[in-house]
């Protein structure tokens, strides 16, 4: 029975429109997050799309096709098209019809299905067929251990997500490892969803929680549950050292059990924390990288190694990219094979670079945990995360944690400025690839930054941007310390610590502060430029100020945008993920602010 006051309009192209004025809009948004993806988020109507991947994640999380259908029917303003309900049932019913299991007779694996025609169909695919061995019996094909990950990817591309039930090697035992802190209720739920009492189909997957919600503690709890040697991969040295501090502070492990594998040190111990940058360092130089690339963007990885030259090929998918080739290109990827790991934790898993994806395809016998605030990838490779790390096992809405006081409430404001008249013509004549920099770096943004910093006198303010020259100018005008990819590691840590203690009230930072930087008392962020329309970067930057404050105060997130330019277009795209989480951006004029 439909109701004209309901918030949803479900359309036959699998899009769902959510009317925000409906009294049931909040309930509908929370329900849609479980099985669809937000596409557009203007003021009054949000548009979601139901995709095969979103439905497969819902199926793995325990949601049935009947539950999805009931949700749509219950919240829809008009009758739900029968084709949509049929697609929901078809796609959710695909997960698990093909299974990877251990073949105890051969010591290898087997691809199994109760539907012999389906098994024959996928075996006839060119890429899948190359990875299948002999037909063991009517409903089983042999699979080599080393093809476990690549086969899962190939079948996923055919639209058949595999239930991987082959189990895992236990790895070397991590003796007497336990947490010394209590888990919050949602943290315990997240670990349980991933671990599932260690059953064969569990021990892999992604946990999605807001920045500031304690994902590091969840990772440590997973490590204690696995009880095995653990490799943790972090975004940078600062993040890696934060992990090490948390391990020593919140577990029973001692300093001699925990090692750092980075550009500075190469210690391999029962628990080793590495960085993505060192793992993807290559002696084959494509170009020298530093603080700023040729187009003026900040490069936070520049101090850790050059960009690899793969001759234009993607080492994740290139034919013949076997272990030897991969290790020649990226010698530190050998870390994956240097010890008997029982668990690999991928911090900020949505950032996985192609070489690490490729290495992960080879080590499917090791339990894997991905941690992130958002699974959004602008390159559309979310399916690779699903296939190689595992499905989304747990996702908690940001506003739900805010309601319970686990993260700080935040007000998001978009401040719009205009280009100077003389800059308008320069913008109009510029090449498309140069227009964003011209718009993002207008001097009028610096004027707004000064006024915002003055208004928030006494607060802990982060000014965040993408372009190094722009940040240098703002830092000089504010007489504030600056951290970019070129800043030495010791100087970075000293400046971050000065900000944490309150000695420094305003800090200007580049992309190096996007991820996993613990600045608990930061309560104001002013974003002046970013990585084009990156939704995950927007979420991460808001996350820098979302840790609960000692005084219970709120956070303020400002984005300064140049109107009538690509800067405004990119800003609208960047805000989509946060709009899905229930955050509204009030828009104000920079001249009257």
SS3 of 522-572: the string is: CCEEEECCCCCCCHHHHHHHHHCCCCCCCCCCCEEEEEEEECCCHHHHHHH
pLDDT band, very low/low/confident/very high, at 577 (cuts 50, 70, 90): confident
Which residue reads 């095969």 in tokens? 52
If you count DSSP H runs as helices and E runs as strands, how many of each does the chain have, helices first?
Answer: 23, 23
Structural contact between residues 166 and 367, judged by C-beta atoms closer than 8 angstroms: no
Name the nearest CA neighbour of 460 among 518, 525, 495, 505. Answer: 505
Burial class of residue 51 in the structure, from the number of CB atoms within 10 Å of its CB (0-12 exposed, 13-18 middle, 19+ buried) = middle
Average pLDDT value for residue range 142-169: 92
What pLDDT is attached to residue 200?
A: 64
- The pLDDT, as a whole number, for residue 318 is 36
Mean pLDDT (whole number) for 521-541: 87
- Helices assigned H by DSSP within 162-303: 185-195, 215-226, 237-250, 276-279
Whether 228 and 174 have beta carbons less than 8 Å apart is answered as: yes
The H or E element containing residue 498 is helix 489-501
Rg (alpha carbons) of the chain, rounded to whole number: 24
Instruction: Write down the residue that tokens 């192209």 correspond to.
Output: 13
Q: Which residue has the higher pLDDT, 306 or 59?
A: 59
Residue 495 is encoded by which pair of tokens?
């400046």
Could you give the strand order of the β-sheet that contains 585-589, starting from the edge strand earlier in sequence?
A: 482-483, 506-509, 461-464, 524-527, 555-562, 410-417, 585-589
305: left (phi over 0), alpha (psi -120 to 50) or beta: left
Closest of 287, 314, 248, 567 to residue 436, by C-alpha: 567
CB contact at 8 A, 164 and 204: yes
Lowest mean pLDDT among 120-134, 214-228, 316-330: 316-330
Per cent of the chain over pLDDT 90 is 55
Q: Please give the average per-residue pLDDT across 198-203, as a whole number.
A: 70
Task: Tell me, letter by letter, the H, E, C secondary structure of 266-318.
Answer: ECCCCEEEEEHHHHCCCCCECCCCCCECCCCEECCCHHHCCCECCCCCCCCCC
Q: Nearest 5°: phi and psi at 468?
A: -65, -45
Residue 110 in this model has a pLDDT that exceeds 90: yes
pLDDT, residue 328, reads 80
Token pair in block for residue 307: 């960009």
pLDDT value of position 322: 59
Chain segment 398-425, per-residue pLDDT in tens: 888 888 889 889 999 999 999 988 888 8
> What is the torsional sign of CA 584, 31, 552, 244?
negative
Query: Is the pLDDT at 306 greater than 90, yes or no?
Result: no
- How far is the C-alpha of 16 from the C-alpha of 32, rounded, in Å? 9
pLDDT at 321: 45
Residue pair 14/50 in contact (Cβ under 8 Å)? The answer is yes
**Among residues 84, 80, 82, 28, which one has the least CA distance to residue 55?**
84
**What is the per-residue pLDDT for 308?**
34
In DSSP terms, 414 is beta-bridged to 559, 587
Q: For position 518, what pLDDT does the model report?
A: 77
Sign of CA dihedral 206, 516, 215, 413: negative
Q: How far apart are CA 325 and CA 313, in angstroms?
A: 12
Q: Which pLDDT belongs to residue 323?
A: 64
When pLDDT is cut at 50, 70 and 90, the band that residue 147 belongs to is: very high
Query: Under 8 Å CB-to-CB from 129, ≥6 apart: which residues?
Result: 123
C-alpha–C-alpha distance, residues 220 and 62, integer Å: 25
pLDDT of the residue at 135: 92
Q: How far apart are CA 236 and CA 306, in angstroms?
A: 15
Pairwise pLDDT comparison (1 vs 156), residue with the higher score: 156
Residue 287 predicted with pLDDT over 60: no
Q: How far is CA 217 from the centre of its chain?
A: 17
Q: Of 400, 372, 407, 416, which Cα lies nearest the Cα of 558?
A: 416
The predicted model gives 86-90 an average pLDDT of: 97
Q: Give the model's pLDDT for residue 131.
A: 93
Q: Which tens digit of pLDDT belongs to each residue from 462-521?
A: 999 999 999 999 999 999 999 998 899 899 989 999 999 999 999 999 988 777 677 878
Checking if the pLDDT of 201 tops 80, the result is no
Q: Where are the beta strands (DSSP E) in 313-423?
A: 343-347, 367-372, 392-395, 410-417
pTM: 0.84
Mean pLDDT rounded to a whole number for the chain: 86
Percent of the chain surpassing pLDDT 70: 91
Q: Which band of pLDDT confidence, cut at 50, 70 and 90, is reported for residue 127?
A: very high
């Amino acid at each position: 029975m439909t109701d004209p006051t309901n918030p949803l309009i479900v359309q036959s192209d699998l899009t769902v429109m959510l009317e925000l004025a409906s009294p049931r809009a909040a309930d509908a948004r929370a329900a849609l997050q479980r099985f669809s993806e937000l596409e557009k988020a203007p003021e009054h109507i949000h548009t979601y799309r139901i995709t095969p991947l979103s439905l497969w994640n819902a199926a793995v999380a325990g949601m049935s096709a009947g539950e999805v259908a009931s949700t749509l029917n219950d919240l829809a303003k008009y009758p739900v098209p029968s084709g949509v309900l049929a697609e929901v049932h078809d796609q959710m019913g695909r997960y698990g019809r093909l299974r990877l299991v251990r073949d105890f007779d051969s010591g290898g694996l087997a691809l199994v299905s109760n539907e012999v025609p389906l098994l024959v169909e996928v075996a006839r695919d060119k890429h899948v067929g190359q990875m299948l061995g002999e037909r063991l019996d009517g409903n089983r094909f042999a699979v080599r251990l080393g093809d476990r990950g690549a086969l899962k990817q190939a079948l996923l591309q055919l639209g058949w997500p595999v239930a991987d039930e082959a189990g895992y090697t236990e790895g070397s035992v991590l003796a007497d490892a336990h947490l010394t802190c209590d888990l919050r209720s949602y943290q315990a739920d997240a670990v349980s969803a991933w671990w599932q009492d260690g059953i064969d189909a569990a021990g892999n997957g992604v946990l999605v929680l807001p920045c500031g919600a304690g994902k590091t503690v969840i990772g440590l709890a997973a490590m204690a549950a696995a009880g095995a040697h653990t490799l943790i991969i972090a975004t940078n040295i600062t993040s890696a050292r934060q992990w090490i501090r948390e391990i020593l502070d919140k577990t029973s492990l001692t300093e001699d059990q925990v090692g750092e594998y980075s550009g500075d040190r190469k210690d391999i111990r029962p628990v080793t924390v590495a960085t993505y940058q060192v793992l993807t360092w290559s002696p084959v130089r494509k170009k020298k990288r530093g603080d700023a690339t040729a187009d003026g963007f900040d490069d936070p990885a520049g101090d850790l190694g050059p960009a690899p030259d793969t001759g234009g090929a993607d080492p994740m998918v290139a034919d013949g990219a076997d272990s030897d080739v991969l290790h020649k290109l990226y010698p530190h990827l050998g870390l994956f094979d240097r010890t008997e790991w029982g668990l690999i934790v991928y911090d900020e898993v949505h950032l996985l670079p192609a070489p690490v994806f490729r290495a992960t395809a080879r080590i499917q016998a090791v339990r894997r945990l991905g941690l992130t605030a958002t699974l959004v990838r602008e390159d559309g490779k979310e399916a690779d995360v699903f296939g190689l790390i595992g499905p989304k096992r747990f996702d908690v809405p940001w506003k739900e944690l805010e309601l319970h006081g686990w993260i700080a409430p935040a007000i998001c404001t978009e401040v719009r400025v205009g280009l100077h008249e003389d800059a308008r013509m320069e913008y109009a004549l510029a090449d498309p690839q140069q227009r964003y920099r011209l718009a993002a770096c207008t001097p009028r943004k610096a004027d707004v930054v000064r006024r915002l910093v003055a208004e928030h006198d006494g607060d802990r303010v982060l000014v965040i941007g993408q372009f190094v020259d722009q940040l240098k100018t703002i830092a000089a005008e504010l007489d504030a310390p600056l951290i970019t990819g070129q800043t030495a590691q010791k100087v970075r840590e000293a400046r971050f610590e000065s900000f944490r203690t309150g000695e420094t009230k305003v800090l200007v930072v580049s992309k190096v502060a996007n991820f996993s930087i613990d600045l608990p008392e930061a309560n104001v962020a002013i974003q002046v430029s970013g990585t084009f329309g990156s939704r995950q970067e927007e979420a991460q930057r808001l996350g820098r100020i979302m840790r609960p404050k000692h005084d219970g105060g709120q956070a303020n997130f400002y984005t300064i945008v140049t109107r009538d330019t690509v800067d405004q277009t990119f800003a609208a795209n960047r805000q989509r993920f946060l709009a899905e989480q229930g955050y509204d951006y009030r828009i104000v004029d920079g001249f009257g602010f």
